[in-house]
């Protein structure tokens, strides 16, 4: 881990302990990064230290994942969103830009819908309005996740993580992501995916008023361009940025570009909130 990153474990008000890592000035503009399924804070390890110090970039591992506590229940998007808000409370952060990848992007949407006063901006990375009717998710559940047993096989985790990228990424990074996935019990693989499959934000997206940057890789194997168009049409203050040569996990494939784009968005949001 980079020496520029600060790591700690934080216990939320409900007793749930989660690992956190951050970079930047503690008084800087807060950016909360939410990882995807079944990742951990390490999904953002290659980008965290690249953010300008004026941004307080914070990544944490969500319940059930990585080294976080793994309670028996609480794996719906609503639960994950509540955890993220409790984390902001513990860190004394009233408002933040929320950036989420894949599952994390759906959780970010939920935060913006249920806790709009806590969100100054949204970055939706490889996102979607619902998994209902998503053929890839249905197949993943039917032919893989529903049948998982502990310990989860490395080959399964490897194939899943490899499918999220179009361009090659360093073997060392891919092995980290696979190893983190193997820390997730089979029951959490099932509960988290089922929680996503049972949720639908289509009718709620119009409630999102925060400035929103939608970022999508043109070779995304999970969520098509049509999903991005639905998000763009429903969220009233949104823009779409396409990474033409990348897949679902474009922040692994093009980390420098992602940091540039996300930092520019965060800084624009911060400037827009400065009183005249």
The whole-number pLDDT of residue 276 equals: 35
Is the pLDDT at 137 greater than 50? The verdict is yes
| Token output for 192 | 């988290």
∠ Cα 125 159 152 (to 5°): 105
- Of 92, 91, 98, nearest in space to 116 by CA: 98
**Could you read off the pLDDT of 26-76 as tens digits, one per residue?**
999 999 999 999 999 999 999 999 999 999 999 999 999 999 999 999 999
Instruction: Give the pLDDT of residue 268.
Output: 95
**φ, ψ for residue 126, nearest 5 deg:** 55, 55
Could you list the beta-strand ranges (E) of the chain. Answer: 6-11, 17-23, 29-34, 55-60, 96-101, 119-125, 212-217, 238-243
Query: pLDDT of 250-265, one tens digit each?
Result: 999 999 999 999 999 9
Query: Would you give the distance in Å from CA 252 to the centre of its chain?
Result: 13
Q: How many residues belong to the chain?
A: 276
Residues 6 or more apart from 83 whose CB is under 8 A from it? 12, 16, 18, 62, 63
The pLDDT tens digits of the residues spanning 66-114 come to: 999 999 999 999 999 999 999 999 999 999 999 999 999 999 999 999 9
The answer to whether residues 121 and 29 touch, using CB atoms and an 8 Å cutoff, is no
184-231 pLDDT, tens digit each: 999 999 999 999 999 999 999 999 999 999 999 999 999 999 999 999
Dihedral angle computed from the Cα positions of residues 7, 54, 43 and 6, in that order, rounded to the nearest 10 degrees: -10
d(CA 114, CA 82): 9
CA torsion 220→222→225→226, rounded to 10°? 180
Backbone angles phi, psi at 44, to 5 degrees: -105, 10
Whose structure tokens read 């860190």? 91
Share of the chain above pLDDT 70, in %: 98
Q: What per-residue confidence (pLDDT) applies to 201?
A: 98
Region 236-242: what's the mean pLDDT? 97
* Global pTM value: 0.97
pLDDT, position 2: 63
The residues near 234 (Cβ < 8 Å, ≥ 6 apart) are 129, 202, 205, 206
Q: If pLDDT is split at 50, 70 and 90, which confidence band does 4 have?
A: confident
Burial of 162 (0-12, 13-18, 19+ CB in 10 A): middle
pLDDT interval class at 25 (50, 70, 90): very high
């Amino acid at each position: 881990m980079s020496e520029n990153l600060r790591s700690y474990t934080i216990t939320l008000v409900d007793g749930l302990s989660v690992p956190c890592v951050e970079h930047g000035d503690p008084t800087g503009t807060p950016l909360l990064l939410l990882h995807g399924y079944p990742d951990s804070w390490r999904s953002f390890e290659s980008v965290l230290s690249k953010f300008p110090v004026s941004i307080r970039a914070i990544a944490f591992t969500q319940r059930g994942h990585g080294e976080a506590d793994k309670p028996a229940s609480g794996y719906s998007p609503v639960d994950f969103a509540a955890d993220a808000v409790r984390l902001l409370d513990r860190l004394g952060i009233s408002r933040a830009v929320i950036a989420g990848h894949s599952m994390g992007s759906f959780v970010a949407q939920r935060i913006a819908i249920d806790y709009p006063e806590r969100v100054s901006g949204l970055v939706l990375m490889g996102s979607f309005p619902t998994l209902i009717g998503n053929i890839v998710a249905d197949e993943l559940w039917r032919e893989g996740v529903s049948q998982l047993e502990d310990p989860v096989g490395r080959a399964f985790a490897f194939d899943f993580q490899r499918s999220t990228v179009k361009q090659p990424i360093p073997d060392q990074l891919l092995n980290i992501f696979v190893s983190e996935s193997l820390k997730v019990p089979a029951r959490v693989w099932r509960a988290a995916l089922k929680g996503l499959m049972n949720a639908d934000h289509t009718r709620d997206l119009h409630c999102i008023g925060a400035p929103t940057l939608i970022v999508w890789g043109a070779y995304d194997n999970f969520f098509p361009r049509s999903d991005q168009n639905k998000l763009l049409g429903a969220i009233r203050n949104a823009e779409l940025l396409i990474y033409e040569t990348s897949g679902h996990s474009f922040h692994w494939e093009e980390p420098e570009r992602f940091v540039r784009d996300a930092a520019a968005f965060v800084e624009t949001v911060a400037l827009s909130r400065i009183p005249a």
